[in-house]
Structure 1
Amino acid sequence: MRDFIAIDFETGNPQRVSACAVGYARVANGEIVESKSHLVRPVGGHAPFQSKIHGIKHEHTEARPDFGELFPEISEIFQAPLVAHSRFDQQVLSALSEHFGLGLHFEYFDTSSLAKEVLPDLKNHKLKTLAKHFGLPKFQHHDAREDAIACANICLKLHEMLGGAEPQETVSDELYEFKGLIRGILADNEVNYKEAYELLYWLQDHHQTTQQFPELSLAVRQVLEDDELDHIEADLLRRMLNSAAKELS
């Protein structure tokens, strides 16, 4: 894949529709030719925990457009194949499309999932880990533009490792996809806040799995009720995910 747009969203609160920043890096013929970011007034405002992660607060976005108002300015980027480093950004974009009635249909590739297939022995497949593995420049994590640039470069490196073959969108049944999600979260034997929200959003969209693992679904909702994830809560989710993985094996 040599022509695509890498995207990254930061959210203002636990709602997946609460984008407060969007960054992108446009790739043409294997080169980054443009990169940019926009601050967005988030649906539901800002929560302290999310602001602590990326530093974006009410005073930074109060005069900015919401995503529906911004969309006409950036709509063309969603017409290209989209690349991001997790399913989280796909979930955010889908929620924004539904909330603002944008009717988006987009092609989406997850570099995190691809990296797990191409580099199975790497200690984890987080953005910073992969950037270091490929010798890419240091970047400011949770800055939407810089994360998008890093994602674009990682996608190009993975493309080289595939010998130029085009990656395919992952099409799988629900439980197979859930196993892959768990494997990715537990790759470094830790659960961070973004992974916890990704898990929450995924479970909300997959009722079959929620019914099969009701205790896990309940635990994820409960630990995130205060918009934070402390070490005890993260360890609880880690243990429950390990248990679910054993049940699925």
Structure 2
Amino acid sequence: MCRGKPRGARIFTNIEREDESYDVEEIVLPSGQQVPPRAGRFRVTPPPHLRDFNKELFYVEYDYPELIVRDAALRVLFNLEREEAQYQIYQWEQTVGDKGGIAVEHCGYALNWSSSPGANGYLQQFVPEFSFVDASTWSSLSKEEEDMAYLPCVPAVVLHFTTDVDTMEILQTKTHRFVCAGTREGVVVDISGERVWIHNRGEKPHFEALGVIEFDSWPGFTLDCGAILAYRERERRRLGL
């Protein structure tokens, strides 16, 4: 079950239909503040309350005091990795259902509320690649909160994949923020480097070789990284990449 798709800040665009390119003019935050329409980090205070954005172009995140704009478009190889991960999660959903919780893709989370002067709001607002919210946490949300782009809760598990844009270092930092906020298990998968980085709450983060990952906090789900690599290579040959 895929719920809580992020929406974030508004992005106004002019679409040139002949070449399907986007001429993005500005990213406007809910407060009315504008930031450049390009990937990067921009100082924004106080913390914005991110709502809706065009996820076909950008993902918008916040790590006090910086707003982070990330390109949504990925190269084909990285999309192939996600296709197989999505399939494995779909298979889990068909087998287990949502009894133990809900798996979501590109769902935002608002972490660490601060009421201090100049920083009144959520200090971190991130969008993990995949995440799992356990049943007790999900049931604690109101109907209004369930529909928010950035859920005001902490997921039990976050799962990221490295890309040419999101490096291991960037994703380690993001995963660490989640674990510090209460996430129990965080994983960064580097298919090209054939390694995974695992950060469990209360344990020292470490690297392991690609393999099958079992999650204590995601009942019944295992991530087969070897199958993801095999699928990517098989599709790459088929597509002549």
More strand by share: 2
* More RCO (CA 8 Å, sep 6+): 1
Q: Please give the TM-score of this superposition, normalised by the length of structure 2.
A: 0.30
TM-score, normalised relative to structure 1: 0.29
